[in-house]
Chains A and B, each alone.
Chain A
Amino acid sequence: MITFSYTVFIVLIPFILFLLLGFFGNKFKPVVSGIIGTTGLFTSFLLSCYTAWQYFFVVPKVGGAFVKLIGYNITWLRFTENLHVDLGVLLDPISVMMLIVITTVSFMVHLYSIGYMKGEKGFERFFAFLSLFSFAMLGLVIATNIFQMYIFWELVGVSSYLLIGFYYEKDTAVAASKKAFIVTRFADLGFLIGILILSVTTKTFDFITLTDPKGPALMQGGSILFMGLSTMTWSMIFVFMGGAGKSAMFPLHIWLPDAMEGPTPVSALIHAATMVVAGVFLVARMFPIYVISAPAALEVVAYVGGFTSLFAAVIACTQFDIKRVLAYSTMSQIGYMMLALGVSGYGGHEGLGYMASMFHLFTHAFFKALLFLGAGAIIHAVHSNYMNEMGGLRKYLPITHATFLIACLAIAGIPPFAGFFSKDEILAAAFEHNKILWAVEYAVAGLTAFYMFRLYFSVFWGKEVHYHHTPHEAPLVMTIPLMLLAAGSIFAGFIPFQNLVTSDGLPFVKEIELSIAIPSVFIALLGIVIATIFYRKETTLPEKLAKGLGGFYRAAFHKFYFDELYLFITKKIIFNHISTPIAWFDRHIVDGGMNGVSFVTNQVSDKIKRFQSGQLQQYAWVFVSGAIALALAFIYYWTL
């Protein structure tokens, strides 16, 4: 019998690190806390690898399919016999895959941060928060029930808030952290409503029961109707709202670009590879419910994903802050994953989209983390975020340049890099189910190649810039993670995902369809060629194009005015016309009432103080008369 109880340590180690560094971090030298954190995460990483090996290759399959295992479980809150909240470790293909992704990226980011954050104030605080985040994220993916997931979901939100606002002396960072927290909190409200509807209908929180084909969630899905949609559909739409918030899907995406105020390693860990895919993971976790009981909700997922990917890709083409370009690119790629889930069916080759989505999540984690860490190295070297202040850096930063190029090729979908394989599966899945979305994704593929190489050429080629001091390559502790991730970006595509991570746990056969792959590569190459013409050397072409597009370009540059729109809605409409009257009501009527109540309470409290006279005979009198009064009252009430 193979036990998986050790998996609890994968999660606990980062938590212990957090406590250690959080409480005693200031007792160590900064470097020591960095090394402690990195070593701890490395241990978690090794354990995850061991878990994955055991899970995928050692544990016997049931009927050829991977089973869901409970590695560790305790009952935490027992409401009734059936309804209880457990804390535990659920192992299935996607959670094991996520363990690998999170611990790998987290370990890389820890290592990288030792160099990147060197000399920063609050170095050990940074590592404590990183560990807290890793703990929360790992707890989220191994959750055995939706309630546990929600707890860690919120913890992820908190630690993300802490990390975005790491430079808390900077106003923009504080504003960004608040924005991220409030927007995702708002989305989580939807998630919570979804959980409540789900648990009321199914009387369980447990994922295994929920996704069981014979379980209550799948059997009674369409029973109750509200506004033409079944209860299960409503609950899944609300759950997706939470996922959309964390994954920065349109229209809840506004926090992600601002979140780039955080330190760059944080962006790599949280806002590229792990937290932002939590929404995708959530939909994947509940996938059987979506696909069987709530197809309408899945439709929503597909269109939101598709629209976001296009929308974000267009904006990405117009931005100059390299981290923001990457942020929009992340949104676009997550849109891809959502779309893939949305167009997927259940079981066998039907579930191609599901597998493609998870595959893309996996490969994307590598090259997007690499891009962010590369961007960090660039920023580290030139002390600027703006690509129009850069150029010709390939001579100064050879390693960063090479790894960045690999990542760009991977994300653009050029074979044989990782992104090609996963993106190809997504396109194939979309082609089978929804031709419109498929066409959109082709356009996005072209745009992706264009904006990535726009970034690449502007930074590493383009005009010669005179820097204040000569940019220098980052130290080894930063370039090693770059190289490792670059290796991942090259080879991750060859992992046979169709045998490992599928919607029903059964492997299926898939091939690269040339009719899909060739046009997609062609479009990507087209994007790269255009970017080369525009940005390889300094030309006036970009400005001409921007002028030619006129209003559309300006709108895209201003992110389609969504920030302004939200500000208008919140400040002008909600604050003025809803909040102000409510505030008045609150201040005068509610507070007045409360003050009245507290006044009366205090008065009563004052008056009855006299009972407490300190005189023993009075105490005795009250005692006896109290007993007699009680006795008389109850004898009268019960017998007469």
Chain B
Amino acid sequence: MLVMRHELLLVIITVILLLVEIFLPKDQKHKIILPAILLFTIVTILGFLPGITGELFGGMYVSTALTMTMKNILNIGTLIVFIQSVSWLKKEENKEKISEFYLLLLSTLIGMDYMISSGDFMMFYLGLELATIPIATLAAFERYREKSAEAGVKLIFTSALSSGILLYGISMIYGTTGSVYFTDVKAAFEATPLQILAFIFFFAGMAFKIAIVPFHLWIADVYEGAPINVTSYLSVISKGAAVFILMIILYTVFAKIAIIWRDVLYVTSIITMTVGNLFAIRQRNIKRFLAFSSIAQAGFILLGLIGQSQLGMTTVIYFVLIYIFSNLAAFGVAGIIANVTGKETIDDYDGFYRTNPLLSLTMMLALFSLAGIPPVAGFFGKFFLFAAAAQKGFYILVFIAVLNTIISLYYYLLVIKAMFLNTSDQPIGYFRSDNYTRIGLLLCVAGILVIGFASPVYEFILNLSYGLY
């Protein structure tokens, strides 16, 4: 059972935390925070131990060096979310439900891990649902707030719709190939019109999770309404997991129709980054702003998937890893500001540098990384991504992507300008962030800086990616 180490460890700590929760008196619920974080840190570290690869349940569950790395990446991201959300969870109105947050979040993570390790469409679907439904409850975590409740409802409805379409696609795949196992489907898949339809429906379901245009509309409302820590989890971990499994399925199951899905990705990639950017320009609410910018980032990720090769795969994983750190840093700063002052619009950030220089610098670093400015990690992520696509000859696509990078630079700089150059009569006053937030942000900053300069990370992923071919 060591093959399933990641999932089992998560299940074990989920059960432990559930038991702790039951025995904690009602006014002592906050005491679960430290054990939860410590336990999860241990799990994250254990994840890095050399694992055993193999199959379980007759091929329903597959574990490779690659999937283990993906899970480790997700673990690290989740750990940062755990740490960052402490100050929010300690608020009076959330105090009673602290453990709910951890339990639900861990459930989704278990779902994601199973999804990534799935060897057939049933396992994949189970994982997907487990990864989605708890998030809807998390989005409605602050149900006393109308917007949060709205976010939960919208998420559950839209994801039900997308699951329906996805299942429809899977059923057609099963209908035409006679199997739900990835290996069988791969062998029997032939690009008949029905199968193309099936593929598109499957893709639409995944596109919903990754927030690819035109399946992205839920994003803005949910991101804005949900508590900011849930939003950051949704935009980073949830999206990263979906990208990982989409990549695996595209590269293995649908390898035969690569020329077709490449075109699908080509079109949606261009639409996604352009629309995401155009929407992002006009946003004044920082959460909505980050939501749309993350749509644009999804477009870039698709571009990396197109360069179907070992290099393309490596660059996507590398990009997602960097994206996790950068976006979590940005959300972390926005989150602490929202928690302390309740302010969420970009105009509120005027003159922020004068009062809180360190947080401003962190935000700047995060946005630079998202925009892809050297020498921070984001630059290398984008650089390799574009290089992978260019190597396959997609010059026009890369050109459009570069144009979009310029647009994105504009709106990222707007935030930085607000913080550093604009002055305000009533800037956000100085505040000390708590230690958890500091550790969380420090991890992100370290990630952004180290991954950019330390090539071993990239080399490591590059070597892993051989596994898939």
Contact = CB atoms under 8 A, between A and B. Distances in A.
Nearest to A623: B215
A626 B279 CA distance: 18
B70 interface: no
Interface in A602-625: 602, 604-606, 608-609, 611-612, 614, 616, 618-620, 622-624
Contacts of A549: none
Nearest to B160: A620
Given A601-B407, A604-B278, A637-B263, A623 B161 contact: yes
Contact of A605 (B154, B281, B459): B281
Contact of B279 (A608, A637, A638, A639): A608
A78 B455 contact: yes
Interface in B410-469: 453, 455-456, 458-459, 462
Given A620-B161, A627-B201, A601 B281 contact: yes
Given A622-B217, A626-B204, A639-B192, A631 B197 contact: yes
A611 B215 CA distance: 12
A260 B197 CA distance: 74
B281 A639 contact: no
> How would you classify the secondary structure of chain B's contact residues: helix, strand, loop or mixed?
helix
Contact of A631 (B192, B200, B281): B200
Interface stretch (A69-77, A398-406, A469-477): A69-77
B138 interface: no
Given A77-B380, A627-B201, A630-B200, A614 B221 contact: yes
B159 to A, nearest CB: 11
Given A620-B161, A634-B260, A634-B264, A612 B214 contact: no
B399 interface: no
A18 to B, nearest CB: 16
Nearest to A617: B157
Nearest to B192: A639
A79 interface: yes
A619 B260 CA distance: 26
A606 B208 contact: no
B200 A627 contact: yes
Task: Please indicate which of the listed interface residues B200, B215, B263, B407 has the most CB atoms of chain A within 10 Å of its own CB.
Answer: B200
B151 to A, nearest CB: 11
A604 B200 CA distance: 28
Contact of A623 (B158, B263, B282): B158
A267 B380 CA distance: 37
B458 A639 contact: no
B182 interface: no
Given A76-B455, A622-B217, A630 B387 contact: no
B456 A74 contact: yes
B214 A623 contact: yes
Question: Which among A602, A620, A627, A638 has the highest number of chain B CB atoms within 10 Å?
Answer: A627
Contact of B165 (A78, A604, A624): A624
Nearest to B383: A77
Given A606-B282, A608-B278, A619-B158, A75 B221 contact: no
B133 interface: no
Interface string B159-184: 00110010000000000000000000
B196 interface: yes
Interface residues of B, number: 41
Contacts of A622: 214, 217
Given A611-B217, A616-B154, A623 B204 contact: yes
B25 interface: no
Given A620-B161, A626-B204, A626-B214, A639 B193 contact: yes
A79 B387 contact: yes
B189 interface: no
B158 A616 contact: yes
Given A616-B154, A634-B264, A605 B165 contact: no
Contacts of B192: 639
A2 interface: no
Interface string B238-281: 00000000000000000000001001100110000001001101
Contacts of A624: 161, 165
Chain A interface mostly helix, strand, loop or mixed? Answer: helix
A602 B193 contact: no
Give the most central of A79, A609, A618, A630: most B CB within 10 Å: A630
A605 B200 contact: no
Contacts of A637: 263
A614 B268 CA distance: 22
Contacts of A1: none
Nearest to B261: A634
A301 B352 CA distance: 54
Nearest to A74: B455
A626 B154 CA distance: 19
A78 B462 contact: yes
Contacts of A618: 217
A79 B453 CA distance: 15
A62 interface: no
A634 B201 CA distance: 12
Contacts of A612: 217, 220-221, 279
Contact of B281 (A75, A602, A611, A627): A602
A638 B260 contact: yes
B177 to A, nearest CB: 17
A21 to B, nearest CB: 19
Given A634-B264, A637-B263, A78 B154 contact: no
A623 B278 contact: no
A635 interface: yes
B278 A75 contact: no
B459 A78 contact: yes
Contacts of B380: 77
A196 to B, nearest CB: 17
Contacts of B193: 635, 639
Which of A609, A620, A635 has the most chain B CB within a 10 Å cutoff? A635
B218 interface: yes
A631 B380 CA distance: 35
A616 B154 CA distance: 7
B423 to A, nearest CB: 24
Interface in B351-407: 380, 387, 407
Contacts of A75: 455, 459
A602 B277 CA distance: 11
B191 interface: yes
A623 B217 contact: yes
A12 to B, nearest CB: 13
A64 to B, nearest CB: 37
A624 B165 CA distance: 8
Contacts of B462: 78
B269 to A, nearest CB: 13
A280 B204 CA distance: 62
Contacts of B221: 612, 614
A84 to B, nearest CB: 9
B215 A626 contact: yes
Nearest to A151: B375
A192 to B, nearest CB: 15
Given A78-B458, A611-B217, A616-B158, A627 B204 contact: yes
Contacts of A606: 282
B294 to A, nearest CB: 15
21 contacts: A74-B456, A76-B453, A77-B455, A78-B455, A78-B459, A608-B279, A612-B217, A614-B221, A616-B158, A619-B154, A619-B218, A620-B158, A623-B214, A623-B215, A626-B214, A626-B215, A627-B201, A630-B264, A631-B197, A634-B196, A638-B263
Interface of B: 154, 157-158, 161-162, 165, 191-193, 196-197, 200-201, 203-204, 208, 214-215, 217-218, 220-221, 260, 263-264, 267-268, 275, 278-279, 281-282, 380, 387, 407, 453, 455-456, 458-459, 462
> Which 5 residue pairs spanning A and B have beta carbons closest together?
A626-B214, A627-B204, A631-B200, A619-B217, A605-B278
Given A605-B279, A612-B220, A614-B221, 10 more contacts: A76-B453, A77-B455, A601-B407, A605-B278, A608-B278, A608-B279, A623-B215, A624-B165, A627-B165, A631-B197
